[in-house]
Chains A and B, each alone.
Chain A
Amino acid sequence: MTGRKASAKLDLRTRAVALAPRVWLGRELQALVSALGHLSKTPLSSCMTIAVIAIALALPATLYVFLENVARIGGVSESPAGLSVFLAPDAGSRGAARFARELQARREVETVLILSPNEALADYLALGGEPGTLDSLGGQNPFPWVLALELRGAHGNAEAAADLAAELNADPAVERVVFDQAWMQRLLAVMALARRGAGVLAVLLGVGVVLVVGNTIRLEVQARTDEIAILRLFGATNSFVRRPFLWAGLWYGGLGGLLALGIVVVELEILKEPVEALISEYGGRFVLSSMLVQTAAGVLVAGLSLGWVGAWLAASRYLYRKIGEME
């Protein structure tokens, strides 16, 4: 042991010394592994925490998959969604033809059928309309030019149709846009409600995950106060002391997320049959597989970040104290 040359002025650095990347990486990996080791020392309570997180994440995830699938019903139904675009009264045959060409050029549109006022009138009469009604209008044809759109497969779902309808409605040349299938509009309304409900639920359960992780980490911090005091005594920064707890939070959140995915898969397997039966009533098909990657990523990211936030809050609450209140 050779002592450091004791200078009159102690070497006081105010900023962290930059570590070599290899040292830094080794330190993080070591913390990652040892955090898992700590979790496994109390298997029962760790598993319970992970299970609570998993359930809290699985519920909104299931709703999400469910809603996304329902939103696609229109797109895969036997008869693709259609829109009837009623043009403004001043639109003539030229205007209608030009607008039809514009619409035909769009990606989402499969076919455009132009329906003139005369054709509409003929249809009206053919369907048993009362000619007298027209006389009371001064003999003028009240029907506008109508463009009947049939939407292309992938763009034919309820939501895409609603988006297109909203866009066309904003056009001054358009009087109004009508969905050909009324049930689709009702579905959209129900979906909007369900989405918002699911969002509120997801936020509440997310807060729940933060609290569960926070409480678990808080107990962990309390159990290791001696160790923390020693670390601080030998010059550990707050971020150094916090590191293992943050890793523990990530483990809880990550493992909870994985378990949540398992729950979602099982749930959907159970729900698949009745939901398919229901949806086939509307001529749709239930598609699970296309959702899986997106849902998996979302659940894992949510789990990891909520676990991290919970751990950070619990560990930091303990760290930021005045000199003398700690050791």
Chain B
Amino acid sequence: MIQFLNVIKRYANGNEALKGISLEIGDGEFVFVTGHSGAGKSTLLRLVALLEQATSGQVLVGGHNLSSIKRAQVPYFRRNIGVVFQDHRLLADRSIFDNVALPLVIEGYSRHETARRVRAALDKVGLLKQERARPVELSGGEQQRVGIARAVVHRPAILLADEPTGNLDPLLSREIVDLFSEFNQVGMTIVLASHDIALVRRSGRRAVILREGEMWQGEFPGLAQPQGPATE
């Protein structure tokens, strides 16, 4: 589903975020990307979502080479992907319902179908009763769950999560990862970036370890890496 071939990403300021990454993530896989902050985790996700383009090397997503994608195609490509952020990035001036509905409104779903899907997604994350609330009225963990509902409401093939548990306590973090596992079980390919080694280890899933923009082949301190792709 996702393939990196010797990918280098250099920013305009000369900073090299990724220094020749090659990896493959299978269809329906749930993979963690871990490493210290600044190791290149976010850049890796941004390349998959086509928020950035590689300086050299190739990024293939769903058989499409992202370096040859036309600008007019980018919006349609992104509709196949859901993204969750550490700071959830909800729109403060809209209700929970409207926030979650956003991807469906963009795709032009009917009002009826939109409502049905939004409620299903909110139900899934346990926030159906809060649909009229504004984001500020919710706790951090609840806001993150709204962000997740928004990321999956349009049933994307790929779900990218950048430090989704960064601001949450261990218990809430585990709940979030469990939620992702449920989406993974119905076929969604998931890439979750986290610096939380304990969380990654507890999941028992395959982890890609980055260190200063390079793939780290050895054991990460305190991390036992399961061998082979963990397909559920």
Where the two chains meet, the residues of A that have a C-beta atom closer than 8 Å to any C-beta of B are 1-14, 17, 19-20, 22-24, 26-27, 226-227, 229-238, 240, 323-324, 327
The interface residues of chain A lying within 8 Å CB-to-CB of B78 are 232-235
Interface residues of B in 19-68 (CB under 8 A from A): 27-28, 46, 49-53, 61-64
Verify A236–B77 contact, CB threshold 8 A. no
Q: How far is the CB of A201 from chain B (nearest CB, A)?
A: 41
- Interface flag for B166 (CB, 8 Å): no
Verify B52–A324 contact, CB threshold 8 A. yes
Verify A23–B110 contact, CB threshold 8 A. yes
- Smallest CB-CB separation from B188: which chain A residue? A3
The interface residues of chain A lying within 8 Å CB-to-CB of B150 are 234
Question: What are 20 A-to-B residue pairs whose CB atoms are below 8 Å?
Answer: A1-B120, A1-B124, A3-B157, A3-B183, A3-B186, A3-B188, A4-B157, A7-B157, A10-B64, A10-B77, A10-B157, A12-B80, A13-B73, A14-B73, A230-B102, A235-B77, A235-B78, A236-B75, A236-B106, A323-B52
Verify B76–A12 contact, CB threshold 8 A. yes
- Smallest CB-CB separation from B110: which chain A residue? A23
- Interface flag for B187 (CB, 8 Å): yes
Verify A23–B108 contact, CB threshold 8 A. yes
Known: A4-B156, A10-B80. A226 touches B51 (CB 8 A): no
Q: How far is the CB of B145 from chain A (nearest CB, A)?
A: 13
A236 to B72, CA, bound (A): 11
Q: A6-B158, A12-B73, A236-B75 are in contact. List 13 more A-B contacts (CB 8 A).
A: A1-B152, A1-B182, A2-B155, A6-B27, A6-B157, A8-B62, A10-B61, A10-B77, A20-B110, A27-B108, A230-B89, A234-B102, A324-B52
The interface residues of chain B lying within 8 Å CB-to-CB of A20 are 110
**Which of A8, A26, A234 is close to B79, meaning CB atoms less than 8 Å apart?**
A234
Verify B73–A3 contact, CB threshold 8 A. no
A238 to B187, CA, bound (A): 31
The interface residues of chain A lying within 8 Å CB-to-CB of B89 are 226, 229-230
A238 to B74, CA, bound (A): 10
Verify A226–B91 contact, CB threshold 8 A. yes
* Count of chain A to chain B residue pairs whose CB atoms are closer than 8 Å in the complex: 121
The interface residues of chain A lying within 8 Å CB-to-CB of B156 are 4
The interface residues of chain B lying within 8 Å CB-to-CB of A324 are 51-53
A11 to B107, CA, bound (A): 14
The interface residues of chain B lying within 8 Å CB-to-CB of A9 are 62-64
A27 to B111, CA, bound (A): 9
Q: How far is the CB of A309 from chain B (nearest CB, A)?
A: 23
Q: How far is the CB of B42 from chain A (nearest CB, A)?
A: 12
Q: How far is the CB of A274 from chain B (nearest CB, A)?
A: 52
- Interface flag for B143 (CB, 8 Å): no
- Smallest CB-CB separation from A6: which chain B residue? B157
A134 to B83, CA, bound (A): 103
Where the two chains meet, the residues of B that have a C-beta atom closer than 8 Å to any C-beta of A are 1, 27-28, 46, 49-53, 61-64, 70-80, 83, 89, 91, 102-103, 105-111, 120-121, 124, 150, 152, 154-158, 182-183, 186-189
A4 to B52, CA, bound (A): 25
A-B residue pairs, 6 tightest by C-beta: A10-B62, A235-B79, A3-B186, A3-B187, A235-B78, A3-B188
The interface residues of chain B lying within 8 Å CB-to-CB of A3 are 155, 157, 183, 186-188
Q: Counting chain B CB atoms within 10 Å of each CB, which of A1, A4, A5, A227 scores highest?
A: A1
The interface residues of chain B lying within 8 Å CB-to-CB of A17 are 107-108
The interface residues of chain B lying within 8 Å CB-to-CB of A231 are 102, 106
A8 to B28, CA, bound (A): 10
A192 to B109, CA, bound (A): 56
Verify A323–B106 contact, CB threshold 8 A. no
Verify A26–B111 contact, CB threshold 8 A. yes
The interface residues of chain B lying within 8 Å CB-to-CB of A12 are 62, 64, 73, 76-77, 80
Q: How far is the CB of B71 from chain A (nearest CB, A)?
A: 7
- Smallest CB-CB separation from A13: which chain B residue? B76
- Smallest CB-CB separation from B108: which chain A residue? A19
- Smallest CB-CB separation from B121: which chain A residue? A1
Q: Counting chain B CB atoms within 10 Å of each CB, which of A8, A20, A24, A323 scores highest?
A: A323
The interface residues of chain A lying within 8 Å CB-to-CB of B63 are 8-10
- Smallest CB-CB separation from B28: which chain A residue? A6
The interface residues of chain B lying within 8 Å CB-to-CB of A13 are 73, 76
Q: How far is the CB of A310 from chain B (nearest CB, A)?
A: 24
- Smallest CB-CB separation from B123: which chain A residue? A1
**Which of A19, A227, A229, A235 is close to B75, meaning CB atoms less than 8 Å apart?**
A235
- Smallest CB-CB separation from B71: which chain A residue? A323
Q: How far is the CB of A235 from chain B (nearest CB, A)?
A: 4
- Smallest CB-CB separation from A229: which chain B residue? B89
Verify B124–A5 contact, CB threshold 8 A. no
Verify A237–B75 contact, CB threshold 8 A. yes
Q: How far is the CB of B151 from chain A (nearest CB, A)?
A: 9
